[in-house]
Structure 1
Amino acid sequence: MIRSITINDFIGLKENIPLIDVRTPAEFLQGHIPGAFSVPLFNDEERVKVGTTYKQLGREQAILLGFDLTGSKWSGFIKQALQIAPDKKISVHCWRGGMRSGAMAWALDLYGFEVYLIQGGYKKYRNWVHLQFENNYMLTIVGGMTGSGKTKLLHELRLGGQQVIDLEDLAQHQGSTYGTMNKMVQPTQEQFENNLANDLKSMNSEQRIWAEDESLTIGKRSIPNAFWHQMRNAVMIDIQVDLEHRVATLTKEYGGLDKTFLIECTERIRKRLGPAQTKNAINAIREGPMEEFIRLALVYYDKTYRTGLLKRDVDKVYTLTIDPEDLPASTASILNFVSNIQSAKHNGHYTG
């Protein structure tokens, strides 16, 4: 049996029904619904042939070519589907919910699957993604200079049951010029947005959601404008950590990275760091001590952070000193601090 459902219906399903994406491998790589399985009806070259035939000879000739290209593949498709959904209940989509997903749904239905066919396909899903960023969220931002341990604090908040959006994890980048750590590979912009929307849909928008203070871009990925503006207008807790602790933390985190990688990254901020500072930083990378490289880099990053802080509404920025060595205590402090802000706002003493 084939059931035609909307993307909202699919996302709202209480039952976890496996989803297969029958678009080409290239389309899937560009962006896909998180958790979907790639079962391409055509490979990239075959799709071009079918598309060209459709334009030049019409729909019927394109359909015939499609059956010629997939004729020997159907048993393989069904075997893949059985591995993905052994209980024979599955959902299917293509780009616009057209012939590709329709053909796959027909074949799976013929074999005895219960098939949920998503109307409008991936295109409708992308519309849904963009709408998630327009929703209003009760955001609270954790700020602080580089090396303050913001990410660790967010992880501790999550362990304590708080709602947390980890943008750097979603973007696979730690935000600075050194942010890939010489190992992380960023998703496409499209997939970054899909992953962010997927996280947001699981959040209660009427309860607090924590996120780290970020620039509009994280590496080569951009935070969707509507969501980023909410971040900029949210209350921010500017955590304060001793400079020496920050230097020690960053030396441990970055000091063991490949020196060529560190030098190449440092060269990228030469204009902002300055020729003398850049030269000294590179010498420290090559010859040590690594702590000196970190201190020189922090001159630039601390200045950048302070500049960004000045662009925020001063009435929504609150400073809190924490002990980064005691994460449970720091988490308790920030939760209590925010609770007091909220109480002050409720009693009319809050100006944000």
Structure 2
Amino acid sequence: MNQLDPESFLHASLTMPVADVRSPAEFEAGHIPGAFNLPLFDNEERARVGTLYKQAGRMAALELGFDLVGPKMSEMVRTARRMTPKGEILLYCWRGGMRSASMAWLLETAGIRTNLLTGGYKAYRSHIRENLVTRRKFIILGGMTGSGKTLCLKGLKEIGEPVIDLEALAVHRGSVFGAIGLGPQPTNEQFENELFKELQCFQPEEMIWLEDESRQIGRVYMPEIFYQAMISSPLIQIVVPESVRTQVILDEYAGLEPTSLIRAVEKISRRLGGLTTQMVIASIDEGRFRDAVELLLPYYDKTYGHSFKSRPEQPVYVLDLTGISVSGYPDAIIKKKSSLVQYRGNQGR
């Protein structure tokens, strides 16, 4: 078996399958993106072994572990073979200890070459925290609700710009309506893992596009060091007509389940005020979604304004897109970025 540090392990994972041998519960809490779960113990078995270790010591826990794993060994090998067409696999457990070593012994005995993560998942997490924003440059795309920022990011990505879609990683659109119609959000830990993986796709000299977000997206939080890097990066604030904003919101939300939309409105009723809340709910009930959007926009505009006041040091560059079709937004944004990079470069001379 071969031992790899986190950086070498992640590089190898680009071309080799990765097995997480921890319990399913540990795997669900957070794992290396792309890994599959090949647990030595299931959740109940892990609890039993841990309890016995505390009560009767290491040898008693080992013997129980042997009893539990023995009947499952052949199935573990079959699973590993299905996942390793080239006969080689990467393995990790929590600390790079007995669980991954035991699985490595089993698979090596069955003729599968193994590579272990030194220090295990714990070392991987430390590696993430130490390298999350090292030598990274960001450019932020901002604008009021409905400006089409997410659509613009997709367009920028299609023409080859380096883009990370934070809302896609968080499985949330970033507002009180953000979870409607989407799947469950990842754990905060897994969000960080996926974010790190995305960052590794780009070279240090590239300026990576991010959408302007608060630190919290639904139930997940950006790492503080990453968020601070975001809000100190240049921001291009796009300005679009209110009619366009309304249509963008309608395209995204009008087809969603009305009851869910109403529940979301009720969550912000205190900030909307009683009368506005009633009017928005009535509009949704009656299928007048455009009216609902027009009633909600002033609330979101005010909220967006407050977010800027909380970070006065961030360099902001306004880009008015009035008169340009939505499909033309990405090209206009690229031109703004080019002039911005040139301007900031001249300032630095």
The aligned counterpart of 2:291 is 292
Give the Cα separation in 1 of the matches to 2:46 and 2:279: 54
The aligned counterpart of 1:347 is 346
Give the Cα separation in 1 of the matches to 2:341 and 2:58: 61
> Superposition pairs for residues 83-232 of structure 1, below 5 Å?
83-232=82-231
* One-letter identity of the residue aligned with 2:325: E
Q: Which moved more, 1:123-132 or 1:143-152?
A: 123-132
* One-letter identity of the residue aligned with 1:183: L
* One-letter identity of the residue aligned with 2:180: M
CA contact (8 A) 2:22 2:41 kept: yes
Secondary structure at the aligned position of 1:73 is classed as helix
The aligned counterpart of 1:311 is 310
Change (3 A) 1:256 1:114: same
The aligned counterpart of 2:269 is 270
The answer to whether the aligner puts 1:325 opposite 2:346 as a matched pair is: no
Give the Cα separation in 2 of the matches to 1:253 and 1:193: 26
How far is 1:12 from its partner?
A: 2.7
CA contact (8 A) 2:91 2:104 kept: yes
Give the Cα separation in 2 of the matches to 1:324 and 1:105: 59
Once the two structures are superposed, what CA deviation does each residue of 1:293-341 show, in whole Å capped at 9, x if it has no partner? Answer: 11111111111111112333467111112266342x3222211112112
Q: Which moved more, 1:258-267 or 1:310-319?
A: 310-319
* One-letter identity of the residue aligned with 1:159: E
The aligned counterpart of 2:21 is 22
The aligned counterpart of 2:278 is 279
CA contact (8 A) 1:132 1:201 kept: no
CA contact (8 A) 1:24 1:40 kept: yes
CA contact (8 A) 1:270 1:278 kept: yes
Give the Cα separation in 1 of the matches to 2:59 and 2:123: 26
Change (3 A) 1:99 1:79: same
CA contact (8 A) 1:88 1:112 kept: yes
Structure 1 gaps of 5+ residues are none
Secondary structure at the aligned position of 2:3 is classed as strand
Once the two structures are superposed, what CA deviation does each residue of 1:219-263 show, in whole Å capped at 9, x if it has no partner? Answer: 111111101111111110110111011112212221121111011
Change (3 A) 1:14 1:289: closer
RMSD between aligned alpha carbons? 1.7
* One-letter identity of the residue aligned with 1:216: R
Q: Which moved more, 1:254-263 or 1:41-50?
A: 254-263
- Alignment identity in percent? 41
Give the Cα separation in 2 of the matches to 1:331 and 1:182: 27
Give the Cα separation in 1 of the matches to 2:41 and 2:219: 30
Per the normalisation by structure 2, the TM-score is: 0.96
Secondary structure at the aligned position of 1:90 is classed as strand
Give the Cα separation in 2 of the matches to 1:197 and 1:318: 27
Count of aligned positions: 348
How far is 1:94 from its partner?
A: 0.7
Give the Cα separation in 1 of the matches to 2:10 and 2:278: 53
How far is 1:34 from its partner?
A: 0.3
Per the normalisation by structure 1, the TM-score is: 0.95
CA contact (8 A) 1:235 1:317 kept: yes
Give the Cα separation in 2 of the matches to 1:14 and 1:27: 20
CA contact (8 A) 1:138 1:207 kept: yes
Give the Cα separation in 1 of the matches to 2:297 and 2:313: 23
CA contact (8 A) 1:233 1:313 kept: no
Once the two structures are superposed, what CA deviation does each residue of 1:135-177 show, in whole Å capped at 9, x if it has no partner? Answer: 2421100001111111111111111111111000000000010
How far is 1:59 from its partner?
A: 1.1
Once the two structures are superposed, what CA deviation does each residue of 1:105-133 show, in whole Å capped at 9, x if it has no partner? Answer: 00111111111011111111111121233
Give the Cα separation in 1 of the matches to 2:78 and 2:291: 59
How far is 1:184 from its partner?
A: 2.6
CA contact (8 A) 2:233 2:314 kept: no
> Superposition pairs for residues 240-251 of structure 1, below 5 Å?
240-251=239-250
Once the two structures are superposed, what CA deviation does each residue of 1:4-63 show, in whole Å capped at 9, x if it has no partner? Answer: 111122113386111101111111111110000101111100001111111111111111
Give the Cα separation in 2 of the matches to 1:293 and 1:186: 27
CA contact (8 A) 2:231 2:314 kept: no
